[in-house]
Amino acid sequence: MLIDTYGRVATDLRVSLTDRCNLRCTYCMPEEGLQWLAKPELLTDDEIVRLVRVAVTLLGVTEVRFTGGEPLLRPGLVSVVERCAALEPRPRLSLTTNGIGLARTAQALQAAGLDRVNVSLDTLRPEVFAALTRRRRHQDVLDGLAAARAAGLAPVKVNSVLMPGHNADEAPDLLAWAVANDYELRFIEQMPLDAQHGWRRDGMITAEQILESLRTRFTLTPEGAAERGSAPAERWLVDGGPARVGVIASVTRPFCRACDRTRLTADGQVRTCLFATEETDLRGALRDGASDEELAHLWRAAMRGKKAGSGLDAPEFLQPARPMSAIGG
């Protein structure tokens, strides 16, 4: 079991498969990209599967989410999913992706054992997509979403970040489109995880502003804390349901007290929080010949160091040195 000193138990593992990405979203990285991890620094497919096995069989993890960077850029992704799906007990497997390339891989991923996907899409307007991502791949994302739905990777969730000056007015349109296409939309407050360290609290669109915008067109009924559990998104029924919309208010309404996540970076570091400034190296121990039990012991020790909260409101808060693409979303 992965339990911290505040009694929280981590059952949800986020595994970053690569720090590379084929978009250059303005709230994540600079236009020229970043210095990517060298191949020897990355966990191999075998190492990823072994660490997931340790988490599932020795530490009580029941959910595994593959992230990046962009995980579809990982050549061995389908094999990794298939091998993790064969673990006993079988974890529930999901993927967070920008959707580019999903149209050609959705069916193979579903056949390998992937249960569902989260796809990032911030706008319905191709020109705004190009401005936000610095790439003209809007239709590829729409095609990927449709392919995921057709493959049965349900529920297909869409993650959207609203940015002033770009798509701040699009919340109602995005929700209407999501409901019409049977996608579950979740808005995410912009977080201080950009490589440029340009995030400003007074420059972000808050959960309350998002909800105020949605209520100009829809009736939203709170789903309630009992339904939410440890999920990061607060959810509302849309016009009485069954459609739902979620808001992840990591900055203005943090959910740290119910957090059940642990994170593994593409280079084999355990992170207890997106905003952690410390990591525990499992890759080094693994390559030095550590047993599964020894790896589990290191992971448990890392979990005991998890802080009570993200610290975003503390005067001494420091943005993590590594950006979202390196940490894994």
Q: Residues 200-249: pLDDT tens digits?
A: 767 789 999 999 999 999 999 999 766 666 678 899 999 999 999 999 99
- The 184-188 sheet, strands edge to edge: 220-222, 234-238, 244-248, 184-188, 157-160, 116-120, 92-97, 63-67, 12-16, 261-264, 269-271, 280-281
pLDDT for 198 equals: 63
Q: How far is CA 55 from the centre of its chain?
A: 18
pLDDT tens digits for the chain (329 residues)? 999 999 999 999 999 999 999 988 888 777 777 778 899 999 999 999 999 999 999 999 999 999 999 999 999 999 999 999 999 999 999 999 999 999 999 999 999 999 999 999 999 999 999 999 999 999 999 999 999 999 999 999 999 999 998 999 999 999 999 999 999 999 999 876 666 666 676 778 999 999 999 999 999 999 976 666 667 889 999 999 999 999 999 888 888 899 999 999 999 999 999 888 899 999 999 999 999 999 999 999 999 999 998 777 777 777 777 777 778 76
Res 227: pLDDT: 65
Quote the distance between the C-alpha of residue 13 and its chain's center: 10
pLDDT at 57: 98
3-state secondary structure of 151: helix
Instruction: Output the pLDDT for position 255.
Output: 84
Alpha helical stretches, state H, the chain: 45-58, 77-85, 102-112, 126-133, 138-151, 171-180, 207-214, 225-228, 282-287, 292-304, 324-327
What whole-number distance in Å separates Cα of residue 75 and Cα of residue 41?
A: 16
pLDDT of 196 = 64
Maximum Cα–Cα distance across the chain: 59
Rounded Cα–Cα distance for residues 85 and 309 (Å): 32
Give the separation between CA 117 and CA 133, rounded to whole angstroms.
Answer: 20
In the block, tokens 């999920």 appear at 231
Token readout for 111 is 């056949």
C-beta neighbour count of 22 within 10 angstroms: 17
Give 273's Cβ-side CA count (13 Å radius): 26
User: Using an 8 Å Cβ cutoff, are 261 and 10 in contact?
Assistant: yes
Task: Assess contact for 8 and 306: CB atoms under 8 A.
Answer: yes
In angstroms and rounded to an integer, the radius of gyration of the C-alpha atoms of the chain is 19
Q: For residue 49, which amino acid is it?
A: V
Q: Does pTM top 0.85 for this prediction?
A: yes
DSSP state of 98: -
Are 167 and 296 within 8 A, CB to CB?
no
Q: Can you read off the two tokens belonging to residue 223?
A: 């789903």
pLDDT computed for residue 229 by the predictor? 63
Q: Are the CB atoms for 36 and 257 separated by under 8 Å? A: no
Instruction: Name the pairing type of β-strands 234-238 and 157-160.
Output: unpaired
Distance CA 67, CA 80 (A): 13
Q: How far apart are CA 27 and CA 25, in angstroms?
A: 6
